[in-house]
Amino acid sequence: MPEMRGAEFVCRALEAEGVDTIFGYPGGAIMPFYDAIVGAKFKHILVRHEQGAAFAANGYARASGRVGVCVATSGPGATNLVTGIADAFMDSVPIVAITGQVRTFLIGTDAFQEVDIFGITLPIVKHSFLVRRPEDLPEIMRDAFRIARTGRPGPVLVDIPRDVQEGKADLSLLPRNLEEERPPAPSKESIQKAAKLLREARKPILYVGGGVGMANAIEEFRGFVKATQIPVVHTLKGLGTLPATDPLFLGMLGMHGFKQSNLAVQECDLLVCMGARFDDRATGKLAEFAPNAKVIHMDADASEVGKLRRTEAGIVGDIRPALKALTEPLPQVAEWRETCLQYKKDYAWNYEAPGDGVYVPAMLKELGEKADDKTIITCDVGQHQMWVAQHYGFRRPEHHLTSGGSGAMGFGLPAAIGAQLGRPDCRVICVSGDGSIMMNIQEMATLKRYNIPVKILLVDNQALGMVRQWQELFFAKKYSEIDLWDNPDFVKLSEAFGIPAFFVRERKDVPRAIDRLLNERGPLFAHVSIEQAENVWPLVPPAKSNAEMMVGDKTQK
């Protein structure tokens, strides 16, 4: 390549990585880059807040399987990315965040809009780069994408001072080393130990997280389940790894897991953990989690194996050859399998709630049954998030995009924008709550500007529902700062953004609402009003074992 400005090279590097869409917001320190993207091969989506850019890149990456890219200027632009970067770090999502920085000779002088974003993000990225010279850009840009997508995926920050963007140098693209893309194969010894434990087990359970999908090991995993006939529970991020319609799928485990899932885990004698990390929301009181079980732990990240729970067999590396090697019939688990299936029947959910109001679990179940295999659901955080996880019925993990580890309100709408642009062949529905939607509602302007056909299903109880539920159960009903009685008229607000909207007030309105969400073209907003007193059940109280579930109104026996 001939001599070029640093900003121009960044554009060429993005094109070479196959980037087709980036999300960003311009400002002073990143202006040379925005000058350079005019005529670029990729599309830039102008969000209305930098947090929206980070979440959109996140949704793009999760839905498409490619690296998401977000861009912001220095100072407040960069700090507005932090929540989205942290979310990607917690949920192992590959994104590259490019930020402008003040000129190199001004760094450390408290210059206008100077913030040490390199230092701020150190705990929440896989790696950070502060580019000092244009000549360093080829290696840094190549390494940023490689680090983001390989091993355990995650976010990478590239902070580029303005004079580095403006500076000229002889810059050439470096070749990608695709041989390093997959983790190393696990050791034969670890697989042999696991095989022995599987043969000896009488009550095994598969505890499956998001790592299986991220490893592109869905088919190998499903083949393993079909051969072994071991019952399966999923984490929030693992949902869809085994289709919800599979008889061996017991449901989500953990704080809001189904009774059959938590009881099966508590009674198992072998816990096979695949791509999960013994998160507190999944395990409850860790010391009493699966108390009688030996553990096989499979993970691409060696630091996770044995971190929170001692393992009898730790399988580190590429999960696909491990699953293939361990795929064989286990006839000795037949009696246990029947016990688990009976649990599933005994504790089946009752969707016939009394009254004429909308019963959200039933609505989401119907939505999942009527949606096709190319429907992606994004969620915000709170009660609606748990209802989606429990009742929608996912068929693929990349069809369920939710903020798991960080639990970030405001995730759903911008993530839906990213998912729709990353998978234009899919239908994308954002399920949100009246608290969450207000956190990034400005991105409805982004929907309208680009006519992105995202559908929004707003579950409105005029409260911060999950906080209200906890105050009811654990704080003597002393309700503090959870009342959202003064919400705007969301239908009028949506229409003000230029997006069609409608109310759903009664159960009889649900079938038509679902039909509109699934079949209308363009963006659409459905405002569903529900009772404030509705709670999410089951619930494992804080610091309690998963066996100590509260079932509330007996919707699950």
| Tens digits of residue pLDDT in 369-413 | 999 999 999 999 999 999 999 999 999 999 999 999 999 999 999
Predicted confidence at residue 117, as pLDDT, reads 98
Which residues is 99 bridged to in the sheet? 72, 159
Distance CA 297, CA 287 (A): 17
CB of 361 within 8 A of CB of 372?
no
In CATH terms, is domain 188-346 a member of 3.40.50.1220? Answer: yes
Predicted confidence at residue 179, as pLDDT, reads 64
Task: Give tens-digit pLDDT for 278-313.
Answer: 999 999 999 999 999 999 999 999 999 999 999 999
**Residue 125, CA distances (Å) to 142, 215, 524, 548 in order:** 17, 20, 35, 36
**Tally of CB atoms within 10 A around 310:** 10
Predicted confidence at residue 1, as pLDDT, reads 56
Residue whose pair of structure tokens reads 């062949």 in the numeric block: 425
Distance CA 379, CA 392 (A): 12
**Tally of CB atoms within 10 A around 181:** 11
Amino acid of residue 460: D
Tokens representing 292 are 């009688």
Which residues is 313 bridged to in the sheet? 296
Using 50, 70 and 90 to split pLDDT, how confident is the model at 70? very high
CB of 412 within 8 A of CB of 435?
no
Q: Which of 404, 222, 238 is nearest to 324 (CA)?
A: 222
Task: Give tens-digit pLDDT for 313-358.
Answer: 999 999 999 999 999 999 999 999 999 999 999 999 999 888 899 9
Distance CA 81, CA 50 (A): 6
CB of 351 within 8 A of CB of 376?
no
Residue whose pair of structure tokens reads 């001599």 in the numeric block: 3
Task: Give tens-digit pLDDT for 256-267.
Answer: 999 999 999 999
User: Does residue 500 register a pLDDT over 70?
Assistant: yes
Using 50, 70 and 90 to split pLDDT, how confident is the model at 180? low
Q: Domain extents for the chain?
A: 3-180, 188-346, 360-529
The per-residue DSSP string of 326-380 comes to: H----GGGHHHHHHHHHHHHHT-B----SSSB--HHHHHHHHHHHS-TTEEEEE-
Residue whose pair of structure tokens reads 């816990």 in the numeric block: 271
Kindly report the average pLDDT of the chain as a whole number. Answer: 96
Q: Do domains 3-180 and 188-346 have the same CATH topology?
A: yes
Distance CA 350, CA 266 (A): 23
* Class of domain 360-529 (CATH, top level): alpha beta
Q: Which residue has the higher pLDDT, 3 or 180?
A: 3
- Helix crossing, 137-149 with 6-16: angle to 10°? 30
CATH superfamily label, 3-180:
Thiamin diphosphate (ThDP)-binding fold, Pyr/PP domains (3.40.50.970)
- The torsion angles phi and psi of 328, rounded to 5 degrees, stand at -160, 150
Predicted confidence at residue 176, as pLDDT, reads 81
Burial 507-546 (b: 16+ CB within 10 A, else e): eebbeebbeebeeeeebbbbbbbbeeebbbbbbbeeeebb
User: Does residue 553 register a pLDDT over 70?
Assistant: no
User: In sequence order, which residues have a C-beta less than 8 Å from that of residue 470 and are 6 or more positions away?
Assistant: none
User: In sequence order, which residues have a C-beta less than 8 Å from that of residue 106 and are 6 or more positions away?
Assistant: 114
Question: What sign does the CA torsion over 360, 366, 372, 373 have?
Answer: positive
CB of 274 within 8 A of CB of 319?
yes
Q: Which of 210, 262, 207, 239 is nearest to 539 (CA)?
A: 262
Distance CA 59, CA 412 (A): 9
